[in-house]
Chains A and B, each alone.
Chain A
Amino acid sequence: MRRTPRETAESALRISRRGLILGGTQLAFAGVLALRMRHMQVDQADEFRLLAEENRINIRLIPPARGRIFDRNGLVIAENEPTYRITLVREDADDVDAVIARLSMLVELDEDDLNRAQAEMKRTAPFFPVTVADRVSWEDISRVAVNAPALPGVTPEEGYSRVYPMRDTFAHVVGYVGPVSDRDLSRFEDPPPLLRIPRFQIGKVGVESKFEEELRGNAGAKRVEVNAVGRVMRELDRREGEAGADIQLTVDSGLQEYVKARLGEESASVVVMDLEKGDLLAIASAPSYDPNKFVRGISVADYSELRDNNHRPLASKTVQDAYPPGSTFKMVTALAAMEAGVVGTEDTVWCPGHMEVGSRRFHCWKRSGHGHMNLETALRESCDVYFYDLALKVGIENIAAMGRKLGLGEAHDLEMSAVTAGLMPDKAWKLRERGSAWVIGDSVNASIGQGFVLTSPLQLAVMSARIATGRSVTPRLVKSINGIETPHRGGTSIGLNENHLRQVRRGMYAVTNDRRGTAYRSRIIGEGYRMAGKTGTAQVLNRIVKNDAPWEERDHALFVNYAPYENPTIAVSVVVEHGGGGSTAAAPIGRDVTLQALYGGDPPLDAYPTGLRAEIEAQQERLAREREARIAERNSRA
């Protein structure tokens, strides 16, 4: 359109004016932007710089190597074995299913592992490595490495896993480790961050659990730079952790292995204790289980088999279980009576085979009666009536006090799971727990280790040790931690009259060395190796059972001993559940274990009575073969 010059000039002026106004506004706004920039980048720079660093840097823990566990001779009981696993990073694999299919042609993939991996993939970020195969062999790993180009996203990884080379031999002592559970975490007020590392393992039972903190060590840490989705871009620096402490046990694995083999199919337990420091040379519960299975994650089938077995392989019978001690308790009654001054060594009691107490008749195990019995012969032949008589004279309070002095009714502070205190009953206990008064019949029952009295195999060994030495020998399981010897107690006298002790010891010597002793068949011939012991047969049901009774109803067989008689160095206790009689089922085991401990291996045959040598020789050969087979199997696995 045409415009007059005036119009044109006016238009230009108006535009210039408004253009300058708007230009000024724009400039002002640019100034605001500049000020905002200055505020953020200069005034608040430090604050934002800190936030940027927090974004960028992440601290990752490095799990320390777990401390190892050795036996008293330095043989490995628990160690860390390098294990290989195969991980998959989804992000790097173009087609996850195809990669897994190709991988399955090279490595045998476990169905469980794959299912677990599938579940994990749904939960985690695509760059996060997911384990598709665990505990694969080195050969498998090399095969995967060679075929790496065809397997995008697949990485072989090395880690460490707990391994128990002696397998079931130490399961109840050492326990095992397993993945940290919520229950484990709830034990801590403030759980160490290490425990939150995926796949981190913690001691579940036994020494592994009791010394968890020492064994675990201290975590190392590395500072890594991570990107927005948490993937590690590079490592900035690293501080190595501190390996856990090595722990040496007092147990002799050779002896422990022998005990394990000797017990065979029995449901039984054996404790062998060194008298000098109370070191437990063997503490075995049979049957046992392989702790390695638990570390790997036990299958439901395996677990229910262990759980439903009526021989209770999961139970740590040496310390967890308490049995009526039966006749092995008679030394307690005898010592209590002598210390109370109510009986002399030559005082005799007439055993007609039973005894009337009030309106009740208490039987001796020998229905025909023993005739005149003194302390030594009563112990030797295990006459019940003699001890009934002592009980009436001395009373339960004295007996209970003597039992406690000898270590009964006390949970010895041992680094194993659930150590029982057993039960050393007295009048106050019965009133408190049962709500009724102690009656004389209770004392009579207690005098021969029946009724309320309950003792663990460990306590029986301690009792035997204290009788043998007169000192308060206390069991010790851990010899040293990181080379520093752990303290031992029990050097002091328990304050019993040495003469009284000698009487009891003579009685125990007669049990195994006198032709009329209940364990005469299980005597040791070798000069300087002879043992003193005491058999026991504990009723499971409140009646005499026949030999063909079902297994669960048969009596428990017990045997305690110490040796050598002249200069004792070890004490032993044996409990065979439902084994029948102590003299037939338990005493031979006690003898064999004692000889093994004293000789430090298979004893010469002339340590045994002549009539037994052929049988023993066969047994030794059989056990040696079994041991070799076990070692061969163990080595083939490694």
Chain B
Amino acid sequence: MSYLEYSIKTVPTGWRKILHLNWPLVVLLTAVASVGFLMLYSVAGGSFTPWAEPQMKRYGLGLAAMFFVAMVPIWFWRNIALVAYLLALFLLLLVEFFGAIGMGAQRWIDLGFMRLQPSELMKITLVMFLAAYYDWLPLNKTSRPLWVLLPIIFILLPTFLTLTQPDLGTALLLAVGGGLMMFLAGVHWAYFATVIAAGVAGIWAVFESRGTEWQLLKDYQFRRIDTFLDPSSDPLGSGYHITQAKIAMGSGGWTGRGFMQGTQSRLNFLPEKHTDFIFNTLAEEFGFIGGISLLALYVLVVVFCIFSAIQNKDRFSSLMTLGIGLTFFLFFAVNMSMVMGLAPVVGVPLPLVSYGGSAMLVLMIAFGLVQSAHIHRPR
């Protein structure tokens, strides 16, 4: 079975594929990762260990993986999308199973050279699988209830598995990312309007129930919401970290305190300075200029994905490219909102910058898919 009815003869073959890579995207990704190396070097007090050096090695590995994935024709990836999704789901269950026999809230599987988080893998395979699903589904069936219910199940299965790990941040990203994939695929407006209305009503009900007999959340959960809305109400408890993060951010000013001069991170006032809150270190040391520059790089990555998707006439390719760009956006948007005090702290890393293996490798593989779609696009 051929992939597309129009010619794929014009698709480059062999080494010529390299010329057709989306090179600006490669440069952008490397630039973002380099910001990460610089910050990891800084938070370690001017040292390549323990964070900057492993991160650079991982990026090298990720880059290689990206090139490898890019060389493989996109139709191969489409064909294995279902298998990949099922495999990721299986791995998630496996983690669940191991967790059940007493390994605690374990989220990863040890592969020897790295620890793989199946929930990270799921972010990409879900996007891939939904793209393949809508590629397969006749257009006129897109908004029919049965065909809408089916992808919802595909989304909710891994979401619940992730939620029980528990990993609220990733679960939210999966749910929101999946929902937006459905939006991109053209599911009717009315469905989304209904969901949003239900969500607003639900939140309203939760707040209204407070203090009554049938209140929907436990007291401590309400207190956590209070703390998020007003961190100063619990300055030494859970509000402490977000307050310190905001101080780091705000005290940077226009140009920052200078490389390795951030007192908030150097003196450990800043929590998780090498992972979730690394953006605050950047903002403290390089100020508004530094922060806005990284934001611009991120936005450019997303913009390049959108352009690549729009140029691509293949439904699977463009849906998947948009989905991956969107996932990437959700990553940094949620992280930044969180560290700026606009969203509750849910533990989402800053893509390609935060220290961490799985997330980086999975993202690079995802951009490999974007590159493959770009190289193998119908012309």
A145 at the interface (CB under 8 A from B): no
Given the interface contacts A15-B319, A18-B184, does A37 sit within 8 Å of B254 by beta carbon? no
Binary interface profile of B, 177-190, with partner A (CB < 8 Å = 1, else 0)?
00010011110000
A342 at the interface (CB under 8 A from B): no
CB-nearest residue of chain B to A18: B184
**Chain B nearest CB: distance from A233 CB in Å?**
6
Of A10, A23, A52, the residue contacting B263 (CB under 8 A) is: A52
Binary interface profile of B, 302-319, with partner A (CB < 8 Å = 1, else 0)?
110010011001010011
CB-nearest residue of chain A to B336: A33
Give every chain A residue within 8 A of B139 (Cβ-Cβ): 7, 10-11, 14
Give every chain B residue within 8 A of A3 (Cβ-Cβ): 5, 315
State in angstroms the CA–CA spacing of A34 and B295 once bound together. 8
Q: Are A23 and B250 in contact (CB under 8 A)?
A: no
Q: Are B310 and A20 in contact (CB under 8 A)?
A: yes
Give every chain A residue within 8 A of B170 (Cβ-Cβ): none
Of A8, A37, A48, the residue contacting B288 (CB under 8 A) is: A37
**Of B8-16, B196-204, B207-215, B264-272, the one touching chain A:** B264-272
State in angstroms the CA–CA spacing of A294 and B263 once bound together. 45
Q: Are A30 and B249 in contact (CB under 8 A)?
A: no
Give every chain B residue within 8 A of A20 (Cβ-Cβ): 306, 310
Give every chain A residue within 8 A of B135 (Cβ-Cβ): 1
Chain A interface mostly? helix
**Chain A nearest CB: distance from B309 CB in Å?**
6
Q: Are A52 and B264 in contact (CB under 8 A)?
A: yes
CB-nearest residue of chain B to A46: B253
Given the interface contacts A7-B139, A15-B315, does A229 sit within 8 Å of B268 by beta carbon? yes
Name the interface residues of A226-246: CB closer than 8 Å to any CB of B: 226-229, 233
Q: Are A228 and B315 in contact (CB under 8 A)?
A: no
Q: Are A1 and B267 in contact (CB under 8 A)?
A: no
A225 at the interface (CB under 8 A from B): yes
State in angstroms the CA–CA spacing of A11 and B185 once bound together. 9
A44 at the interface (CB under 8 A from B): yes
A27 at the interface (CB under 8 A from B): yes
CB-nearest residue of chain A to B2: A2
**Of B79-87, B240-248, B355-363, the one touching chain A:** B240-248
Q: Are B302 and A33 in contact (CB under 8 A)?
A: no
Q: Are B340 and A37 in contact (CB under 8 A)?
A: yes
Q: Are A15 and B184 in contact (CB under 8 A)?
A: yes
Of A29, A45, A228, the residue contacting B253 (CB under 8 A) is: A45
**Chain B nearest CB: distance from A36 CB in Å?**
5
Q: Are A37 and B292 in contact (CB under 8 A)?
A: yes
Give every chain A residue within 8 A of B336 (Cβ-Cβ): 33
Name the interface residues of B327-371: CB closer than 8 Å to any CB of A: 329, 333, 336-337, 340, 342
Q: Are B246 and A15 in contact (CB under 8 A)?
A: no
Give every chain B residue within 8 A of A15 (Cβ-Cβ): 184-186, 309-310, 315, 318-319, 322
CB-nearest residue of chain A to B183: A18
Given the interface contacts A37-B288, A41-B291, A52-B248, does A16 sit within 8 Å of B310 by beta carbon? yes
**Chain A nearest CB: distance from B44 CB in Å?**
15
Of B136, B269, B288, the residue contacting A41 (CB under 8 A) is: B288
A541 at the interface (CB under 8 A from B): no
Binary interface profile of A, 403-436, with partner B (CB < 8 Å = 1, else 0)?
0000000000000000000000000000000000
Q: Are A55 and B315 in contact (CB under 8 A)?
A: no
Given the interface contacts A15-B309, A22-B183, A27-B299, does A41 sit within 8 Å of B253 by beta carbon? yes
Q: Are A41 and B184 in contact (CB under 8 A)?
A: no
A300 at the interface (CB under 8 A from B): no
The total number of A-B Cβ pairs within 8 Å is 142
State in angstroms the CA–CA spacing of A40 and B288 once bound together. 9
Q: Are A40 and B337 in contact (CB under 8 A)?
A: no
State in angstroms the CA–CA spacing of A49 and B254 once bound together. 12
A26 at the interface (CB under 8 A from B): yes
**Chain B nearest CB: distance from A43 CB in Å?**
9
Interface residue tally for chain A (C-beta within 8 Å)? 44
Of B136, B288, B329, the residue contacting A26 (CB under 8 A) is: B329
A47 at the interface (CB under 8 A from B): yes
**Chain A nearest CB: distance from B354 CB in Å?**
17
Give every chain B residue within 8 A of A222 (Cβ-Cβ): none
Of A12, A36, A45, A233, the residue contacting B342 (CB under 8 A) is: A36
CB-nearest residue of chain A to B137: A1
Q: Are A225 and B267 in contact (CB under 8 A)?
A: yes
Give every chain B residue within 8 A of A18 (Cβ-Cβ): 183-186
Give every chain A residue within 8 A of B248 (Cβ-Cβ): 52
A506 at the interface (CB under 8 A from B): no
Q: Are A228 and B292 in contact (CB under 8 A)?
A: no
B109 at the interface (CB under 8 A from A): no
CB-nearest residue of chain B to A48: B250
A516 at the interface (CB under 8 A from B): no
State in angstroms the CA–CA spacing of A36 and B338 once bound together. 12
B326 at the interface (CB under 8 A from A): yes
Q: Are A233 and B267 in contact (CB under 8 A)?
A: yes
**Chain A nearest CB: distance from B89 CB in Å?**
24
**Chain B nearest CB: distance from A17 CB in Å?**
9
**Chain A nearest CB: distance from B306 CB in Å?**
4
**Chain A nearest CB: distance from B98 CB in Å?**
33
B287 at the interface (CB under 8 A from A): yes
Of A8, A16, A55, the residue contacting B264 (CB under 8 A) is: A55
Give every chain B residue within 8 A of A29 (Cβ-Cβ): 333
Q: Are A45 and B184 in contact (CB under 8 A)?
A: no
Give every chain B residue within 8 A of A11 (Cβ-Cβ): 139, 186, 315
Q: Are B184 and A44 in contact (CB under 8 A)?
A: no
Name the interface residues of A210-263: CB closer than 8 Å to any CB of B: 225-229, 233
State in angstroms the CA–CA spacing of A446 and B267 once bound together. 77
Q: Are A55 and B269 in contact (CB under 8 A)?
A: yes
Give every chain A residue within 8 A of B329 (Cβ-Cβ): 26
State in angstroms the CA–CA spacing of A41 and B252 once bound together. 6
Q: Are A48 and B313 in contact (CB under 8 A)?
A: no
Given the interface contacts A41-B288, A233-B267, does A22 sit within 8 Å of B180 by beta carbon? yes
Name the interface residues of B275-306: CB closer than 8 Å to any CB of A: 283, 287-288, 291-292, 295, 298-299, 302-303, 306
Q: Are A30 and B184 in contact (CB under 8 A)?
A: no
Name the interface residues of B210-260: CB closer than 8 Å to any CB of A: 244, 246-254
Given the interface contacts A55-B244, A228-B268, does A37 sit within 8 Å of B306 by beta carbon? no
State in angstroms the CA–CA spacing of A36 and B340 once bound together. 8
State in angstroms the CA–CA spacing of A16 and B180 once bound together. 14
CB-nearest residue of chain B to A26: B329
Given the interface contacts A33-B340, A45-B253, does A22 sit within 8 Å of B247 by beta carbon? no
Q: Are A14 and B251 in contact (CB under 8 A)?
A: no
State in angstroms the CA–CA spacing of A5 and B5 once bound together. 9
Give every chain B residue within 8 A of A27 (Cβ-Cβ): 299, 303
Given the interface contacts A23-B302, A27-B299, A45-B250, does A1 sit within 8 Å of B136 by beta carbon? yes
Q: Are A227 and B268 in contact (CB under 8 A)?
A: yes
**Chain B nearest CB: distance from A616 CB in Å?**
75
**Chain A nearest CB: distance from B146 CB in Å?**
18
Given the interface contacts A14-B186, A20-B306, A40-B340, does A52 sit within 8 Å of B251 by beta carbon? yes
Other than the given A27-B299, A52-B248, 6 more pairs (CB < 8 A) read: A1-B135, A11-B315, A22-B326, A29-B333, A34-B292, A55-B267
Task: Tell me the A residues contacting B by CB distance below 8 Å.
Answer: 1-3, 5, 7-8, 10-12, 14-16, 18-20, 22-23, 26-27, 29-30, 33-34, 36-38, 40-42, 44-45, 47-49, 51-52, 55-56, 225-229, 233
A-B contact pairs, 6 of them (CB 8 A): A5-B5, A15-B184, A15-B186, A15-B318, A20-B310, A55-B269
Task: Tell me the B residues contacting A by CB distance below 8 Å.
Answer: 5, 135-136, 138-139, 180, 183-186, 244, 246-254, 263-264, 267-269, 283, 287-288, 291-292, 295, 298-299, 302-303, 306, 309-310, 313, 315, 318-319, 322, 326, 329, 333, 336-337, 340, 342
Give the top 5 A-B pairs by smallest Cβ distance, nearest first: A48-B250, A52-B251, A227-B267, A45-B253, A41-B288
